[in-house]
Structure 1
Amino acid sequence: MKSWRSLAFLWLAYFCHGAPSCPDLCKCYPRRGEVVCNEVALMEYPSEGLSENTTMVTIQFTNITSVSERHLNATPLLEGLHLYSNHLRSLAPHLLRGVPRLNTLDLTENKLSDLPADVFSHAPLLNLVLKKNEIKIANGDWLQDNSTLTWLDLSGNRLTKVPVALLQKMPRLENLDLSNNHLEKIAPNSLDPLTRLERLNLQDNKLITLDAPALQNTGNLVYLFLSRNKLKRLPQNIFQGLTQIKALTLDDNQLSHIPEGLLDPLTSLDDEGLDLASNPWQCDGKVEYLWRWLQKNKTKVFVPETVTCAKPPSLAGRPVVSLTESELNL
């Protein structure tokens, strides 16, 4: 009897107050507070029809070109907004003012370039993904001081410089991805504010070298990715203090020698945590330090047989670790 009354009450509430609203062309999951608009012919952000109780919105593979503060005001409880692979070209100033609970914003693979001041202020963002856009300059005025961000992904853009002014707003940042840009150098002290940084991805850029002080205040780094750059040399003390590093990739660069003691601070490397493959190692007397380090730390290197000599011709293709003292003229 009680269960019948409960069902009758729910039926009455449903028809008195109406079914949970949902925007056209989208799917809504009221129990989860989630709305998904996937591969549909949307031209505008679907703010009409969104429930005020929505906490997660995913809009991907549509034709929307802009998002405004007014659009987001429809969902004041929003915590996650994923706008992957649309045609976004602009975002409104103070975009997040009406979503004071938003912690994750993903704008991957759009056409964003110039963004207004305070575009990411007002909300307690933890994760901001701007991957695969057309951003040339990441401005410091995007965020308020002392931002709560812990994860920033700017990979796949057109950056030529590290966004120093922006990074100064992020004392809590733990993950920074600047891969697949056009960075040619990391200015000294540009990463100094990031004392909590654990993961730094700089691969697929145009770095020729790293200045000695570049990583001096990033002692909490656990993962450092430098693959597929144009690194020709590294300062002797560039890794000084990086005692927490578990994985370091230096493959596909232009290294022919490394200085004595370069790898010694990396005492926490995981097994196969160091990748040195696809560099033009010159196997003469100057490679002695690398050779001896490999002898002692072979298990720390990812496929050590791929660390091979490019010169002299008599040793070309030989794994450095397989050489003998006489072959190196030691």
Structure 2
Amino acid sequence: MKSCCALAVLLLAYLCHGALSCPPLCKCYRRRAEVVCNEVPLTEYPSEGLSKNTTLVTIQFTNITSISEQQLNATPLLQGLHLYSNHLQNLSPHLLRGVPHLDTLDLTGNRLSDLPADVFNHAPLRNLVLKNNAIKKADAEWLPDNSSITWLDMSGNSLTKVPMALLQKLPHLENLDLANNRLEQISANSLDPLNKLERLNLRNNKLDTLDASVLQSSHNLTYLFLSQNNLNKLPQNLFQELSQLKLLSLEENQLSHIPAGLLDPLSSLEEEGLDLTSNPWLCDRKVKYLWRWLQKNKKKVFLPDGIICASPQSLVGRSLMSLTESELNLQS
């Protein structure tokens, strides 16, 4: 009987300790060592209430404006930190020094602009998400040399360029998302250090052309998103090394022609893997290569009948696929 009472007391103490270790307004899941603070009136990171055994923290839709190294020191075993849609404006230098096991850091939807040097040092990050903030300049000093990051998402910011010095620190990168920025160019050879890159998203920027060598080291690239830019000219050998590419989006650009041979290296395109819609195609003799490629590779094209002539006047609105050799003056 006494042993049963003692066991009950220990169990009660354990449960009480668990309750005390969970921050107010948050929910804690002991089995997963997870803490979730969702849509609650927090103004500071709840470090004082966190158990040292916590491995996953999710704080979203709160009024937190900053986070410091000292606050993260409360959870030395932390592996994942998700801080979606808060009001973060500041991160402290050496932010991750006290969380040497952190694998994933997601800062989507905050108000971050200028980040301090060394902010992402000290932890073996594999996934870093800075999506939908107010960052105007990417800095190589954020990261250590030979960073372990494989997934970097900086979409939805105000970047006009990405320094090669930053990319040189990312030899293990597999996914790079720079969509919805203000990029005007991708410097020649800047992607060369990223020879493990599989997915590159440059959608909705201000690119008007790409250097012929920019993808020369991207042998493992399988998904390439170039839609919603101002691309009006593509180098003939741009896709020369992309034999693994499964999906290529070029819709909503300013392409009137593409050079002969441009699409020939893309032998791995999946069904409907190429999108060329919403471009101002000039349906004259120069469109011969594209017209013939489409005839042979129709299944690889998304909405092939949606590739529409913008000129000459006699063919405006016609699908390129529907035209005959005589209409394109290709017989001679």
TM-score using structure 1 length: 0.97
* Aligned twin of 1:153: 153
Q: Is residue 9 from structure 1 mapped to residue 24 from structure 2 by the alignment?
A: no
Partner Cα distance (1:57, 1:37) in 2:
8
* Aligned twin of 1:276: 276
Provide, for residues 114-138 of structure 1, a one-character-per-residue CA deviation record: whole Å limited to 9, x for no partner.
1111100100100000000011111
Aligned AA (1:163): P
Partner Cα distance (2:161, 2:114) in 1:
16
Helix, strand or coil at the partner of 1:248:
strand
Partner Cα distance (2:14, 2:78) in 1:
26
Aligned AA (1:150): T
Helix, strand or coil at the partner of 1:9:
helix
Helix, strand or coil at the partner of 1:71:
helix
Partner Cα distance (2:73, 2:5) in 1:
34
Aligned AA (1:270): E
Partner Cα distance (1:10, 1:58) in 2:
33
Provide, for residues 275-324 of structure 1, a one-character-per-residue CA deviation record: whole Å limited to 9, x for no partner.
00000000000000000000000000001011111101111111111110
Partner Cα distance (2:181, 2:198) in 1:
20
Alignment of 1:277-316 (within 5 A): 277-316=277-316
**Structure 1 residues 6, 321: CA separation in 2 closer, same or farther (over 3 Å shift)?**
farther
**Structure 1 residues 159, 23: CA separation in 2 closer, same or farther (over 3 Å shift)?**
same
Alignment of 1:129-168 (within 5 A): 129-168=129-168
* Aligned twin of 2:83: 83
Partner Cα distance (1:159, 1:182) in 2:
5
Q: Is residue 169 from structure 1 mapped to residue 169 from structure 2 by the alignment?
A: yes
* Aligned twin of 2:324: 324
Partner Cα distance (2:245, 2:237) in 1:
15
Aligned AA (1:169): K
Per the TM alignment, residue 246 of structure 1 is displaced from its structure 2 partner at its CA by: 0.1
Alignment of 1:235-274 (within 5 A): 235-274=235-274
Partner Cα distance (1:111, 1:293) in 2:
46
The percent identity for this pair of structures is: 70
Per the TM alignment, residue 18 of structure 1 is displaced from its structure 2 partner at its CA by: 3.8
**Structure 1 residues 16, 318: CA separation in 2 closer, same or farther (over 3 Å shift)?**
closer
Which stretch has the larger CA shift, 233-242 or 18-27?
18-27
* Aligned twin of 2:94: 94
Q: Is residue 212 from structure 1 mapped to residue 212 from structure 2 by the alignment?
A: yes
Provide, for residues 230-281 of structure 1, a one-character-per-residue CA deviation record: whole Å limited to 9, x for no partner.
0000000000110000000000000000000000000000000000000000
Q: Is residue 54 from structure 1 mapped to residue 59 from structure 2 by the alignment?
A: no
Q: Would you say how many aligned residue pairs link Structure 1 and Structure 2?
A: 328
**Structure 1 residues 13, 286: CA separation in 2 closer, same or farther (over 3 Å shift)?**
same
Structure 1 outlier segments of 4+, above 3 Å? 4-8
Aligned counterpart in structure 2 of residue 19 of structure 1, from 17, 20, 25: 17
* Aligned twin of 2:41: 41
Partner Cα distance (2:270, 2:41) in 1:
48
Q: Which runs of 5+ in 2 are unaligned?
A: none
Per the TM alignment, residue 9 of structure 1 is displaced from its structure 2 partner at its CA by: 2.6
Q: Is residue 116 from structure 1 mapped to residue 116 from structure 2 by the alignment?
A: yes
Q: Is residue 28 from structure 1 mapped to residue 28 from structure 2 by the alignment?
A: yes
Partner Cα distance (1:6, 1:55) in 2:
33
Helix, strand or coil at the partner of 1:165:
helix
Partner Cα distance (1:86, 1:157) in 2:
16
Per the TM alignment, residue 16 of structure 1 is displaced from its structure 2 partner at its CA by: 6.7
Per the TM alignment, residue 17 of structure 1 is displaced from its structure 2 partner at its CA by: 8.3
Per the TM alignment, residue 163 of structure 1 is displaced from its structure 2 partner at its CA by: 2.9
Per the TM alignment, residue 15 of structure 1 is displaced from its structure 2 partner at its CA by: 1.7
Per the TM alignment, residue 19 of structure 1 is displaced from its structure 2 partner at its CA by: 2.3
Partner Cα distance (1:6, 1:101) in 2:
40
**Structure 1 residues 228, 7: CA separation in 2 closer, same or farther (over 3 Å shift)?**
farther
Helix, strand or coil at the partner of 1:37:
strand
Partner Cα distance (1:229, 1:15) in 2:
61
Helix, strand or coil at the partner of 2:47:
coil
Partner Cα distance (1:10, 1:88) in 2:
44
Structure 1 vs Structure 2 CA RMSD = 1.5
Partner Cα distance (1:7, 1:213) in 2:
75
Per the TM alignment, residue 216 of structure 1 is displaced from its structure 2 partner at its CA by: 0.7
Partner Cα distance (2:5, 2:258) in 1:
74
Helix, strand or coil at the partner of 1:295:
helix
Aligned AA (1:217): S
TM-score using structure 2 length: 0.96
